Amino acid sequence: LKEIQFFKNENDIFAYIYKNKLNFRKKKDDIEQYKIDVLKNLITDYLAGKGINLYEKVNELSIDLALREKFQTKFSYDVIQTLLQSNYGDVTTYQDIGTKIGSKASRAVGNVLKSNPLPLIIPCHRVIRKDGNVGGFMGKSNKEWQQDFKTKLLQIEGSKRNF
């Protein structure tokens, strides 16, 4: 699985398809297609608040995330591994993640998460600022929309804090 993307509206979807020259006609074998269909349903269920642990499910489906290729430095790989150990509904902070891997670089942790190509599966929405603000999500443009999205994800998971 290469990446998961979210868009603000249809125009953004078309722009993305055009920009990356995506081709949906590429033929997939039955197993691949089956996994995609299942994952699609899982994500739908997840967004409906059914308590799905997506990372766990992806492993069960033997979908290869190629994390070593996506996160090549030790620091970024450690950040992701730490994050993947968090449970559904957990909330942690950038500083916590840093501390766990022996670094004070809370801001650098955010930099790694910014480039997360697998939101939802790699639950970067569970990482917020220590002062209680949600912090950023998926890059800097469309900031309000993305922060709203992050907040909604936390609400979907039923996080204990108020957002």
Of 124, 127, 128, 134, catalytic: 124
| Contact assessment for residue 135 and residue 110, using Cβ atoms and an 8 Å cutoff | yes
| Contact assessment for residue 156 and residue 89, using Cβ atoms and an 8 Å cutoff | no
Nearest-approach distance from CB 89 to DNA, in angstroms: 17
- Binding of residue 111 to DNA (CB under 7 A): yes
| Contact assessment for residue 52 and residue 42, using Cβ atoms and an 8 Å cutoff | yes
Could you say which residues in the range 80-99 bind DNA, by CB under 7 A? 93-95
Number of residues binding to DNA, judged by CB under 7 A = 33
Report how far residue 150's alpha carbon sits from residue 120's, in angstroms, rounded to the nearest whole number: 10
- Binding of residue 118 to DNA (CB under 7 A): no
Q: Number of helices (H) and strands (E), helices first, in the chain?
A: 8, 2
- Binding of residue 106 to DNA (CB under 7 A): yes
Catalytic, 124? Answer yes
- Binding of residue 76 to DNA (CB under 7 A): yes
- Binding of residue 124 to DNA (CB under 7 A): yes
First-to-last alpha carbon distance for the chain, in angstroms, is 31
| Residues annotated as part of the active site | 124
Chain residues that interact with DNA, rule: CB under 7 A:
73-76, 93-95, 103-116, 119, 124, 127, 129-131, 135-140
